Homo-oligomer: A and B are copies of this chain.
């Protein structure tokens, strides 16, 4: 197991790579968290010692069960606590006896309820843990995902490791983010859902990721912060080393109310957050889909410091809409240069004077030229920083020819990507599985071609607006970082 060789320079390593994990409140009831967390250790192939704790069971999921933490032989490094809140204080006493380093408190119904007794209990939990020198993750959170060691807080997350680190106050949001991102081929180094942040907070986790060699990009969901100055400084250090893409939850009145009842977080004025994000170069987005779109770019493209787009694919309406959306997203769509026009004329194009950028690829007479030569011209031209290729799914052909042309656009995109001379992103506007389920041949073709691009590592978007929005944010990130 990796944990034996990784230096525990930081306390979080005791949660990411523990030698032993106990699940307090382990269960065989598939609706309970005590079942889920035990099952995850098995499903994700955690190779250390697993101690299910349940006072009434002799075994659980094929593992020997212990009636208490103190009944476990030897020390325990990491405890996942799925107990109700009333049982947390005595559990911490047991943890102290077993030299537990860190406890993930899944336990909820504490500060977030706003009830005085629960708020007081939460405070007592914090003091008790401090007294024993035990670090806490949570309460009211999903805890740890670390595929390299086999720890997870959800079903259907990748078994393979990747280079994105996730720090999230919300477990559900991080689960959704990772499940959906994994369909895009993205993989994660580690994730921490930290809930009410009674112990380790957003800064502790960010600091871990800053120095973590396995993490190249940080995706974050914040609701509140404990210490504004430390947060600002930590973010500065983070963005100096790695891209940080973040959502701030609780921007409006109802959202701020919701953060209070979700994680007891004080949302704070959003303009302060925006200032902090802008100053530190954090890429701020508003929803999970935007995070995934940006992660795609960070994982598959080199840095891009300038915003000039060459856009190809589809007919005139698509070209016009693409140009408008690209400019609105802060990109430039420069006209074809005189040199390019001269080259097109020389190559025999009969529309060299008419063609533009975006390129209307419904010009069938120059079809071969457009699909083979024009991308190369853009690759060589200093006038364009990257290429966006829309599949021509608005072509007017019957199914067979339509499929041929759409595949041709995807082939082209993959070719440009593989040549690696200029960054390229693909757009496949396929609509959504609908009234005829997944039977529509065109929808199905686009879904298959989408998978193909993902397998090749090409960043692919469903809509031009998502593509240009993400590219605008991506370029601005690198421009900020350059300054």
Say yes or no: A114 contacts B401, CB within 8 Å.
no
Name which residue of chain B comes closest to A140, CB basis. Answer: B316
- Cβ of A397: which chain B residues have Cβ within 8 Å of it? 30-31, 36, 155
Q: Would you give the 0/1 interface string for A161-178, flagging 1 where the beta carbon is closer than 8 Å to chain B? A: 000000011111111100
Tell me the minimal C-beta distance from A285 to chain B in angstroms.
Answer: 10
Say yes or no: B324 contacts A262, CB within 8 Å.
no
Give the contacting residue for A289; candidates B31, B183, B184, B465; CB below 8 A. B465
Count of chain A residues with a beta carbon within 8 Å of a chain B beta carbon:
112
> Could you say which of A51-59, A68-76, A373-381, A427-435 contacts chain B?
A427-435
- Is residue A221 contacting chain B, with contact meaning CB distance below 8 A? yes
Once bound together, how far apart are the Cα atoms of A335 and B252, in whole Å?
13
| CB within 8 Å for A324 and B396 given contacts A171-B317, A261-B356, A434-B185 | no
Say yes or no: A434 contacts B463, CB within 8 Å.
no
Name which residue of chain B comes closest to A394, CB basis. Answer: B172
Say yes or no: A250 contacts B320, CB within 8 Å.
yes
Say yes or no: B30 contacts A258, CB within 8 Å.
no
Once bound together, how far apart are the Cα atoms of A463 and B287, in whole Å?
9
- Cβ of A325: which chain B residues have Cβ within 8 Å of it? 286-287
- Cβ of A435: which chain B residues have Cβ within 8 Å of it? 182-185, 451, 454-455
Tell me the minimal C-beta distance from A481 to chain B in angstroms.
Answer: 27
Which residues from 448 to 483 on chain A have a C-beta closer than 8 Å to any C-beta of chain B? 448, 450-451, 454-455, 462-465
Name which residue of chain B comes closest to A249, CB basis. Answer: B320
Give the contacting residue for A360; candidates B261, B320, B401, B441; CB below 8 A. B261
Among A324, A355, A447, the most chain B Cβ lie within 10 Å of the Cβ of A324
Residues in chain A within 8 A of chain B (CB atoms): 30-31, 33, 36, 39, 112-115, 142, 153-156, 168-176, 179-185, 221, 223, 247, 249-255, 257-259, 261-263, 286-289, 314-321, 323-328, 332-335, 351, 353-358, 360, 362, 364, 393-402, 429-438, 440-443, 447-448, 450-451, 454-455, 462-465
Task: List 25 A-B pairs, Cβ < 8 Å.
Answer: A30-B400, A31-B364, A33-B396, A36-B397, A113-B354, A154-B396, A156-B399, A172-B314, A172-B318, A175-B394, A175-B396, A179-B442, A180-B429, A183-B440, A223-B320, A254-B327, A255-B327, A257-B335, A258-B323, A258-B356, A262-B360, A286-B324, A287-B465, A438-B438, A438-B451
